[in-house]
Amino acid sequence: MASSASVAEDVRVSVLTPLKLVGLVCIFLALCLDIGAVVSPSWVTADNRYSLSLWDSCWKPAASDTWHCSSTFGSDWQIATLALLLGGATLILFSFLVGLVSVCAGSRRRFYRPVAVMLFAAVVLQVCSLVLYPIKFIETISLRIYHEFNWGYGLAWGATIFSFGAALLYCLNPKNYEDYY
């Protein structure tokens, strides 16, 4: 009798639930958005004369057609933003790999908690970087022309939102809904 209960538990654990599969897709999307945000040349733009990314700051003088660029690694807050964002992206990558291994392995339940913890940690790191960036930008860089936070910054927020959603999906207790699948 105890043997049949053990076999039933093993069968229930090996079933891939749709919520965990959606969570894995969310992790993958977050990873793609993070890569796009990190390589984006455009986090802040201003009147086709100024562009700021995580890597460099470029401007075009009014009387010239050439762009002049300089590295952003001279500023502590820009280095901190990049480090926090890359730290979050690294945690998202690790959680994706662990989630992928959990799909391929026979026993998945033991992988749910580590993936959720890594994703929540990535969300904290990324939210810190995405709050730090505009505050320090407005505080240190004075542009006398209209400027806006552009698509690179938006991609980073998208990655953070998908990571948070995936973390929530991995937190759901599989015992409560696996019986229905």
Is 181 within 8 Å of 22 (Cβ atoms)?
no
Q: Residue 80 — φ and ψ, nearest 5°?
A: -65, -40
Highest mean pLDDT among 12-21, 45-54, 99-108: 45-54
Give pLDDT, residue 111. Answer: 80
* pLDDT interval class at 86 (50, 70, 90): very high
Q: What CA–CA distance (Å, rounded) separates 77 from 124? A: 17
Rama region for 48: left / alpha / beta (φ>0; ψ in -120 to 50; rest) = left
How many Cα atoms occupy the beta-carbon half-sphere of 111 within 13 Å? 21
Q: What is the pTM of this model?
A: 0.81
Identify the residue with better confidence: 148 or 107. Answer: 148
Give pLDDT, residue 143. Answer: 61
Is 27 within 8 Å of 165 (Cβ atoms)?
no
* 33-37, 60-64, 110-114, 173-177: range with lowest mean pLDDT: 173-177
* pLDDT interval class at 11 (50, 70, 90): very low
Residue 164's Cα: distance from chain center in Å? 9
Domains plus CATH for the chain?
A: 18-41+75-173 (1.20.140.150)
